[in-house]
């Protein structure tokens, strides 16, 4: 028996080519994406990697995205390669222009590197969101459209704006802790299938009975 779409398919629904499972179109080793996470873009959902910018292997930073995330069109993950040296008189990157200016090439220790960017599981990111280097977005978070996320967002919080700020918690602390404990996104496909009505119900008491 089939319990939902094939997590290894590019398009989970062949009738809707604007949605693709990101994991299956990634070519860069420094982007790691979990099962069922999708990107929605009628102009080429399979081109997700084009929305991860300034991502250079010699810097070593990674983009981690968990399972069951919903990412809308216009996303941009700005990685650490976009950073300029800020400890000097000028931030201008003379070295990349060449023609002798490469003598000013900074070392990685001179750059304000922020580390890996980490998106949790079951995260919903609205249209035209920019995620800055090194940000961590927790499980179950929601990021409003057109936000610029420059700081960490806790699990199961709604955030939005430029700069992105927390708007409210989705649930009370007890339910948030429970959801982070059961980690439904790690259940086998058959268990998720059997509990879809509960996972999609507005009656939040049902999930505590599993």
Catalytic residues, by residue number, are 84
Per this entry, what is the length of the chain? 210
Torsional class of 73: left (φ above 0), alpha (ψ -120 to 50), beta (otherwise): beta
Q: Which of 166, 155, 72, 70 is nearest to 120 (CA)?
A: 155
CA distances from 192 to 39, 92, 109, 126, 195 (A): 21, 51, 45, 24, 5
Query: Are the CB atoms for 21 and 12 separated by under 8 Å?
Result: yes
Strand segments, DSSP code E, in the chain are 19-21, 31-33, 38-40, 52-53, 63-65, 70-72, 76-78, 117-119, 124-125, 130-131, 136-137, 142-143, 148-149, 157-160, 165-169
């Amino acid at each position: 028996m089939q319990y939902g779409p094939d997590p290894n398919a590019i398009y989970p629904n062949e009738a809707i080519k604007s949605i693709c499972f990101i994991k299956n179109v990634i070519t860069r080793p420094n982007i790691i994406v979990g099962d069922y996470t999708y990107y929605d873009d009628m102009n080429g959902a399979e081109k997700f990697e084009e929305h991860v910018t300034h991502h250079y292997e010699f810097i070593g930073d990674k983009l981690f995205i968990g399972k069951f995330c919903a990412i809308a069109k216009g996303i941009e993950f700005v990685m650490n390669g976009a950073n300029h040296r800020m400890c000097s008189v000028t931030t201008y990157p003379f070295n990349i222009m060449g023609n002798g200016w490469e003598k000013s090439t900074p070392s990685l220790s001179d750059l304000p590197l922020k580390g890996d960017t980490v998106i949790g599981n079951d995260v919903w990111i609205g249209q035209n969101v920019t995620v800055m280097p090194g940000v961590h977005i927790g499980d179950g978070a929601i990021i409003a459209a057109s936000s610029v996320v420059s700081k960490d967002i806790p699990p199961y919080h709604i955030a939005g704006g430029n700069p992105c700020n927390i708007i409210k918690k989705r649930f009370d602390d007890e339910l948030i802790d429970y959801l982070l404990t059961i980690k439904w996104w790690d259940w086998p496909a058959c268990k998720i299938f059997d509990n879809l009505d509960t996972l999609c119900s507005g009656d939040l008491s049902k999930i505590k009975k599993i």
